[in-house]
């Protein structure tokens, strides 16, 4: 149920098209997507720290309530007030970021690597299915009314709130304190807390033998920590630097080529400002390391990202693997949908239905990953390497299939790309948690940021290549079937051919992202 909520950004790729057409404002689509992408990516680390500081139950319930508020605003947004829909989409992204992180953290609590592999297999499969089904559901709902794409979340959230409170609340971990930036944790937080025994110690998967049981950052006790003390332990400086830095980067990449030209101030200013703030964030977290200046100045604050993660080559490689996975996934979901709309001239619902061919591949990839990791939970190299090769081959041949226009080949390569994506959805996070089991929420947040960041950058690159190759801007009415069908035959054939070649070269442009993972 919770994973179904993560289909938002994909389902709305169809619904937003209907909304913008109903208002006659094509250019506003990019703002609607940007609002969601910004908050859903930039707030991921915040929710990781919130899950530790306030406990899993409080964090997931808060995320659900925020998702409900955002969905309600979008559902009730009047056509004459675009800002209300924009605000609702931003709030939805904030809630979706929370669900994305907290659900993963809950799955990792108090389980061995083998058990985590089984749990995450189920949720990876469900998430993969939601990415494939989302566009179809969005297309079907918009045939009735685009508001249903938002309203459908409300009963799901209400049911989830009740079920989590009744069933899961007693099982969820409370506030965690072991990742503190200093050696003197909050006195209130240590009351009644037991020391973890030595059997909880965990070494990297390639080193340790015997039963695998990762160390949790605390035992499942409910700590009576005052709310003010918990808030005081938040890394305010790191959170703000990361939020504005990543937010500005995503904003500039989303606008570049789609809303504004690459050389305009609207793109360059947030791009450079974002890079500066991200660099400042890295430096800030360095000084938050135990024994350093900021950790002595604010001894009760927990660093947002532990400095040991920055120095790990494995974490860097795993981050890039998830980054490339996001690039492949978003490219299929957005540009294959564009191909079926502009080249094959399918309507929104039928175009979304074609993306279902991506879903079986995801299912097969997740199953193969589950087979490997359930049998050998420490052997993440095989599914990661196999998935990287399959995904790169799928994206590369998909470009040829789109140029050729042969539908069976297109569907086959979409499925093959899905196999590669499914193979890599789970092992990267599993490997990262195995390396740093005492920093579960932080590691999960870091891996979760990589996927939408890779997808956003890939879509930006592909959009720039498409716009320059085809001469059809992102705000052009030629991107809609209604406008295309009104063109004379000769003009229509020219636009279709330009769109086809633009999409082909867009896929060629991101293929290096896939190959460099090898």
DSSP string, 100-166: HHHHHHHHHTT--HHHHHHHHHHHHHHHHHHHHHHHHHHHHHHHH-TTHHHHTHHHHHHHHHHHIII
DSSP state letter for 312: -
**Angstrom distance (rounded) from CA 417 to CA 518:** 16
Buried/exposed code over 131-158 (b: 16+ C-beta within 10 A; e: otherwise) = bbbbbbbbbbbbeeebbbbbebbeebbe
The phi, psi pair for 260, rounded to 5°, reads -130, 160
**Residues 6 or more apart whose Cβ sits within 8 Å of residue 251:** 34, 38, 270, 274
The Cα-based distances of 514 to 77, 336, 402 in angstroms read: 40, 17, 18
- Residue reference for tokens 């304190």: 177
- Say how many CA atoms lie within 13 Å of 33 toward its Cβ: 29
Token representation of residue 302: 């927990």
Q: Cα 294–296–297 angle (5° rounding)?
A: 60
Token representation of residue 384: 């990661």
Q: Contact 157/67 with Cβ under 8 angstroms?
A: yes
**Angstrom distance (rounded) from CA 229 to CA 231:** 5
Q: Contact 123/366 with Cβ under 8 angstroms?
A: no
The phi, psi pair for 256, rounded to 5°, reads -60, 120
Can you give the pLDDT of all 518 residues of the chain as single tens digits?
Answer: 444 444 454 444 444 444 444 444 444 556 777 788 788 888 988 998 888 888 899 999 999 999 999 999 988 988 777 788 889 989 998 998 999 889 888 887 866 666 776 777 677 667 666 666 666 676 677 667 778 888 888 998 999 999 999 998 888 888 875 444 443 333 333 333 333 333 333 344 443 334 434 444 443 444 445 777 778 888 889 999 999 998 898 888 877 776 777 889 988 999 999 999 999 999 999 999 888 888 888 888 888 888 888 878 889 999 999 999 989 988 998 899 889 988 998 877 788 788 888 888 888 888 888 888 777 767 788 899 999 999 999 999 999 999 999 999 999 999 999 999 989 888 888 888 888 888 888 888 888 888 888 888 888 888 888 888 888 766 666 766 677 878 888 888 888 999 999 999 999 999 988 888 77
Reading phi first (left if > 0) and then psi (alpha if -120 to 50, else beta), residue 98 is in: alpha
Q: What is the pTM of this model?
A: 0.76
Token representation of residue 68: 């409900």
DSSP state letter for 213: -
Measure the CA dihedral 374/377/380/382, to 10°.
-50
Q: Which of 462, 425, 467 is CA-nearest to residue 447?
A: 425
DSSP state letter for 200: G
């Amino acid at each position: 149920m919770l994973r179904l909520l993560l289909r938002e950004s994909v389902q709305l790729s169809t619904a937003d098209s209907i909304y913008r057409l109903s208002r006659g404002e094509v250019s506003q689509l990019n703002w609607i997507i940007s609002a969601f992408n910004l908050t859903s990516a930039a707030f991921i680390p915040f929710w990781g720290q919130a899950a530790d500081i306030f406990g899993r139950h409080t964090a997931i319930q808060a995320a659900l309530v925020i998702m409900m508020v955002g969905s309600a605003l979008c559902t009730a947004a009047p056509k004459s007030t675009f800002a209300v829909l924009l605000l609702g989409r931003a709030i939805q992204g904030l809630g979706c970021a929370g669900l994305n992180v907290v659900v993963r953290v809950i799955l990792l609590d108090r389980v061995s690597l083998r058990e985590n592999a089984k749990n995450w297999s189920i949720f990876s499969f469900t998430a993969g299915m939601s990415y494939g089904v989302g566009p179809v559901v969005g297309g079907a709902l918009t045939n009735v009314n685009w508001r249903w794409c938002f309203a459908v979340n409300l009963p799901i959230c209400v049911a989830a709130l009740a079920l989590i409170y009744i069933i899961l609340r007693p099982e969820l971990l409370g506030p965690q304190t072991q990742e503190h930036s200093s050696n003197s944790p909050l006195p209130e937080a240590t009351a009644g807390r037991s020391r973890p025994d030595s059997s909880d110690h965990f070494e990297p998967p390639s080193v340790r033998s015997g039963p695998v049981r990762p160390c949790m950052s605390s035992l499942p006790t409910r700590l009576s920590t005052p709310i003010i003390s918990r808030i005081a332990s938040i890394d305010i400086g790191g959170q703000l630097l990361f939020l504005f830095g990543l937010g500005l980067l995503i904003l500039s990449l989303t606008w570049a080529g789609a809303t504004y030209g690459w050389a305009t101030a609207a793109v360059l200013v947030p791009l450079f400002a974002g890079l500066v703030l991200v660099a400042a964030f890295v430096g800030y977290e360095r000084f938050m390391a135990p024994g350093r200046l900021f950790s002595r100045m604010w001894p009760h604050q927990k660093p947002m990202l532990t400095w040991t993660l920055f120095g790990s080559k494995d974490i860097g490689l795993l981050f890039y693997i998830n980054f490339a996975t996001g690039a492949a996934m978003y490219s299929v979901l957005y540009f294959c949908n564009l191909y079926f709309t502009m080249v094959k001239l399918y309507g929104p619902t039928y175009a979304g239905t074609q993306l279902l061919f991506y879903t079986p591949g995801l299912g097969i990839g997740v199953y193969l990953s589950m087979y490997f990791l359930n049998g050998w939970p420490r052997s993440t190299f095989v599914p990661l390497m196999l998935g990287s090769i399959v995904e790169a081959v799928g994206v590369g041949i998909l470009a040829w299939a789109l140029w050729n226009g042969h539908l069976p080949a297109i569907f086959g390569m979409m499925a093959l790309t899905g196999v590669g994506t499914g193979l890599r959805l789970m092992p990267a996070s599993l490997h990262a948690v195995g390396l740093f089991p005492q920093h579960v929420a932080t590691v999960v947040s870091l891996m979760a940021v990589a996927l939408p960041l890779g997808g956003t950058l890939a879509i930006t690159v592909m959009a720039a290549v498409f716009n320059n190759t085809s001469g059809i801007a992102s705000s052009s009415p030629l991107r809609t079937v209604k406008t295309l069908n009104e063109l004379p035959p000769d003009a229509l054939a020219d636009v279709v051919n330009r769109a086809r070649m633009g999409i082909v070269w867009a896929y060629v442009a991101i293929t290096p992202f896939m190959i460099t993972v090898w």
